[in-house]
Amino acid sequence: MKFEQILQSVNKGEFAPVYLLQGDEPYFIDKLSNTIQQKALTKEQRDFNETVLYGKDTNVINLIHLARQFPMGAAPRQLIVVREAQHLNNIEKLESYFKSPAESTILVICYKYKKLDKRTKAYTALKKVPGAVIFECKKLYDNQVGQWITDYLKEKGYTIEPRALQMLVEFLGANLENIVLSIDKLSVTLGADRVNITVNDISKNIGVNKEYNPFELQNALINKDIVKSNRIVKAFAANPKEFPIPAITAILFNYFSKLLTYFYIKDKSKGNVASKLKINPFFVRDYQTGAKNYSGKKVAHIISLLREYDMKSKGYGDAGTFGGDLLKEMIYRILH
């Protein structure tokens, strides 16, 4: 089942006897397990019928005995949530429980950053449990984060400017927990009257400097604005901890590698370019501008420079140059 399908079922009050929530993206696991906790029992029922365990502190045999107990009072079910289940010893012993799960128990197994080995007898038995949910959550690819943020904001009743979205993605990366925390904080600040998030909102509330950030440096390079590029690089060089070279080269590499691809796209219509490069159509003009200001040969050279200075910043081939000076040198060579 997909994340949205599981969430919809839980919100309807439809529960599985066992949930195995596993994979690399903890946000989805936490969201599902927290929602199950909110919906499975009333506040009054939770005191005696909800148990939260942690894998490293849990004995599987004791867990099985607990899962086979009947709910107390008038509660229709009991809920057991095993957090950090990847640390459970002898998890394969759950095979016996999966062969005959208790009808009045919801067992939620939060198996973060890993997957339960499909070759184990426990996994095989779990797959045969009627109605059991096995959900694997994978980290989003970089090109999926922007759309995920857009969808999340839409659910909360917001829209976001494309430039503001790009700033948000570049500043927060693909960590969904950080993204959600930042957006929720921003929504409180904006209040009920605002529905569209702007560059100014991101700059003011999330700590991204509107003028001095990697996106603005990229924009200056796209337009071959030497004065602006040098001004931004000077600010970066003065604060190397906040603007490390590897983070900057990664952002620029993403753009220039796509720009190189742009040269080989025959149909350069806006829709086709956006599809081929997997970008928002709003940003197609950045590639049109870049193609006017740089030749394909120069772009290939820039990509090589970015790799070179990324390695130098990590101590390979240059053990002594100050990081700020490396950055200035790299940008100069890109522009000239």
Give the integer Cα–Cα distance in Å for 170 and 107.
38
Residue-level length of the chain: 336
Average pLDDT, the chain: 90
> Given this model, what pLDDT does residue 320 score?
59
Pairing type for strands 50-54 and 159-160 reads unpaired
Give the integer Cα–Cα distance in Å for 283 and 285.
5
Tokens of 75: 């509660």
Q: What is the pLDDT of residues 86-97, one digit of tens each?
A: 999 999 999 999
Q: What is the set of domains in the chain, with CATH numbers?
A: 3-7+15-137 (3.40.50.300), 142-205 (1.10.8.60), 214-335 (1.20.272.10)
AA letter at 282:
F
Q: What is the pLDDT of residues 135-189, one digit of tens each?
A: 999 888 877 888 899 999 998 889 998 888 888 887 777 789 888 988 888 888 8
Give the integer Cα–Cα distance in Å for 300 and 335.
13
* Bridge partners of residue 50, in order along the sequence: 79
149-163, 231-245, 293-307: range with lowest mean pLDDT: 231-245
Q: How confident is the model at residue 243 (pLDDT cuts 50, 70, 90)?
A: confident
14-28, 172-186, 250-264: range with lowest mean pLDDT: 172-186
> Given this model, what pLDDT does residue 181 score?
87
What is the average pLDDT across 109-114? Answer: 94
Q: What is the pLDDT of residues 197-232, one digit of tens each?
A: 988 888 777 766 666 778 889 999 999 999 999 989
Give the integer Cα–Cα distance in Å for 8 and 6.
5
* Bridge partners of residue 196, in order along the sequence: 159
**CB-based contacts of 251: which residues, under 8 Å, 6+ apart?**
170, 214, 215, 218
Q: What is the pLDDT of residues 27-81, one digit of tens each?
A: 999 999 999 999 999 999 999 999 999 999 999 999 999 999 999 988 999 999 9
